[in-house]
Amino acid sequence: MKRLETIVKSDKLSQVVNAIRSAGAKGVTVTSIKGQGSGERPMLRSGRGTAQIRAEYNMMDSIMTVVDDSEVSNVVSAISQAAYTGKSGDGIIIVTDVDQVVNIASKKTDSSAL
């Protein structure tokens, strides 16, 4: 089991979630986040329109999903395709190992818990 945490620009959220689901993931958890990274942050009007400042954060979304080891490369390539624009700031995918997953209702574990 692997846990995939994908951080993308908020405007790509729907496409990425569709891609993850189409690639076979059973579910996703989405969190709205703010972040700084390689992507350029927008310029905002400030001082009642008399000046500009660099936004402190980019508005991003984090999409968490848990998949079987065999599906990881599938899902990762689906996400990369959906979120790709070729500019820095498209986001990142973090893949980590999962020790255990428990379904609260059925008490089943791991793959059958999803």
Interface ranges with another protein (CB under 8 A): 43-53, 55-56
- Smaller CB separation from another protein, 49 or 86: 49
Continuous H helices in the chain = 13-22, 72-83
- Nearest approach, Cβ of 47 to another protein (angstroms)? 5
- Smaller CB separation from another protein, 44 or 94: 44
Phi, psi of 37 (to 5 degrees): -165, -145
- Smaller CB separation from another protein, 57 or 84: 57
According to DSSP, residue 109 is labeled B
Residue among 85, 76, 92 nearest 33 (CA):
92
Report helix angle 13-22 to 72-83, nearest 10: 150
- Nearest approach, Cβ of 10 to another protein (angstroms)? 18
Dihedral over Cα of 41, 12, 99, 104: its sign: positive
- Smaller CB separation from another protein, 31 or 109: 31
- Nearest approach, Cβ of 59 to another protein (angstroms)? 14
Tokens of residue 106, six digits: 């059925």
- Nearest approach, Cβ of 60 to another protein (angstroms)? 18
